[in-house]
Homo-oligomer: A and B are copies of this chain.
Amino acid sequence: MQLNTETEQKIIDAAQSVFREKGLDGARMQEIADRAGINKALLHYYFRSKDRLFQTVFRTEVQGVFQRMIEAVTATENIREFLRTFINTYLDNISERSYLIRFVMWESENKSDEFETIFKQVMSTKGFTKNPLVQRIEQAVADGQIRAVNPYHFVLSLIGMCVLPYVAPTAVRNIIGIRDTSSAEFLETRKKEIFNLVWQGLKSK
């Protein structure tokens, strides 16, 4: 059997959208079939079980999340411009993919072993020994371009700032008191505010 790749893609797309919204436990095979515009029988014909389908989706999602993060790491000499570019492209990336980051963060904890395996594979495939973003910050510190922050903690902070409104939009809207976190206006303001805060916070006076 050779299987129609077009249909396979439709299934994966549908599965992605359902898993992103509801997680593994909340997802229903019937709903995935419906969104793919096919029937449950065919769904199981392509992917034997929910677990297998989930595994496929989860793997590509985790890869994508890390992939996009390192794609936002450019070879810019100037650390200031490097940060600006990173924040802009990274925020564009995650804001574009509704519920992705929320899903991956939730499931990464449920499937922590699997997450680690996938992640290590990606790293070795790319020939990385360390997160390139961390590496870039480390280097900037070594070169005296910025003050001596802990690179790991700095990256953690940076990602945290970028990610939160897309991990828990409703909580953010209510608790922080921001009306609309999905508008283009919010996105642009967010970029500026994050950049200003970290740049002020980083530069060696």
Binds B, one of A2-10, A42-50, A51-59, A98-106: A98-106
Chain A contact residues: helix, strand, loop or mixed: helix
8 Å CB interface, A172-205 against B: 172, 174-178, 189-190, 193-194, 196-202, 205
Give the size range of A's interface with the partner: 35 or more
CB–CB A115/B170 < 8 A: yes
Given A25-B25, A171-B104, A176-B134, answer yes or no on A157-B161 (Cβ-Cβ < 8 Å).
yes
Give complex CA distance A164, B159 in Å: 8
A64 within 8 A of B: no
A73 to B: closest C-beta gap in Å: 13
A26 to B: closest C-beta gap in Å: 4
CB–CB B198/A167 < 8 A: no
CB–CB B134/A177 < 8 A: yes
CB–CB A110/B156 < 8 A: no
Q: Which of B65, B154, B155, B170 is A112 in contact with, Cβ under 8 Å?
A: B170
Give complex CA distance A152, B175 in Å: 10
A87 to B: closest C-beta gap in Å: 11
CB–CB A109/B25 < 8 A: no
CB–CB B170/A156 < 8 A: no
A75 to B: closest C-beta gap in Å: 20
Taken residue by residue from 134 to 165, chain A's Cβ proximity to chain B (1 for < 8 Å, 0 otherwise) reads as 10000000000001011011111101111111
A82 within 8 A of B: no
Q: Which residue of B lies closest to A103 (CB)?
A: B106
Taken residue by residue from 84 to 111, chain A's Cβ proximity to chain B (1 for < 8 Å, 0 otherwise) reads as 0000000000000001001011101110
Q: Which 6 A-B pairs have the closest CB atoms?
A: A201-B201, A160-B164, A25-B25, A105-B168, A153-B193, A160-B160
